[in-house]
Chain A
Amino acid sequence: MRINGFDHYPPQDARRLLSDYLRHDVGLTGTHVGCEHGVCGCCTILLNGAPVRSCLMLAVQAEGHEVTTIEGLAPDGEPLHAVQQAFHECHGLQCGFCTPGFVMSVVGLLAQHPHPTDEEIDEGIAGNLCRCTGYASIRRAVRRAAELSR
Chain B
Amino acid sequence: MKPPRFEYHAPSTVDETCALLASLEDAKVLAGGQSLMPLLNFRLARPAHLVDINRIGGLDRIYERDRGVAVQALARQAAVEDSELVASVCPLLSAAVRLVAHRVIRNRGTVCGSIAHADPASELPAVLLALGGHVVARSKRGERKIEAGGLFAGVFETSIAPDELLVEAWFPKSPKPFAIFEESRRHGDFALAGVVRAGDTLALFGVAPTPVLADAKDPSRGLQPSSDLEATPEFRLHLVRALTLKAFAA
Which residues of A come within 8 Å of B, CB atoms? 14-15, 17, 20, 36-38, 41, 44, 47, 50-53, 55-58, 60-61, 105, 108-109, 112, 122-124, 126-127
Assuming the contacts A38-B34, A57-B37, asked whether A127 and B101 have C-beta atoms less than 8 A apart, the reply is yes
**Cα distance, A51 to B102, chains bound together (Å):** 11
Contact call B37/A126, Cβ cutoff below 8 A: no
Q: Scoring B residues 183 to 224 as 1 if CB is less than 8 Å from chain A, else 0, what string do you get? A: 000111000000000000000000000000000000000000
**Cα distance, A68 to B67, chains bound together (Å):** 40
Classify the interface of chain A: helix, strand, loop or mixed: mixed
Assuming the contacts A15-B6, A105-B104, asked whether A56 and B187 have C-beta atoms less than 8 A apart, the reply is no
- Chain B residue, CB-CB nearest to A48: B107
**Cα distance, A127 to B107, chains bound together (Å):** 12
The 4 A-B pairs at the shortest CB distance, nearest first, are namely A127-B102, A14-B8, A37-B38, A56-B37
- Chain B residue, CB-CB nearest to A105: B104
**Set B4, B42, B54: member contacting A37, Cβ < 8 A:** B42
Contact call B3/A37, Cβ cutoff below 8 A: no
A-B contact pairs, 5 of them (CB 8 A): A37-B41, A56-B38, A61-B52, A105-B104, A127-B103
Classify the interface of chain B: helix, strand, loop or mixed: loop
Which residues of B come within 8 Å of A, CB atoms? 1-8, 10, 33-34, 37-38, 41-42, 50, 52, 54, 78, 101-105, 107-108, 186-188
Given contacts A55-B37, A61-B54, 16 further A-B contacts (CB under 8 A): A14-B7, A14-B8, A14-B50, A17-B41, A37-B38, A37-B42, A47-B107, A47-B108, A50-B78, A52-B108, A56-B34, A56-B38, A57-B37, A58-B37, A123-B103, A127-B104
CB contacts (< 8 Å) of B102 on chain A: these are 123, 126-127
- Chain B residue, CB-CB nearest to A14: B8
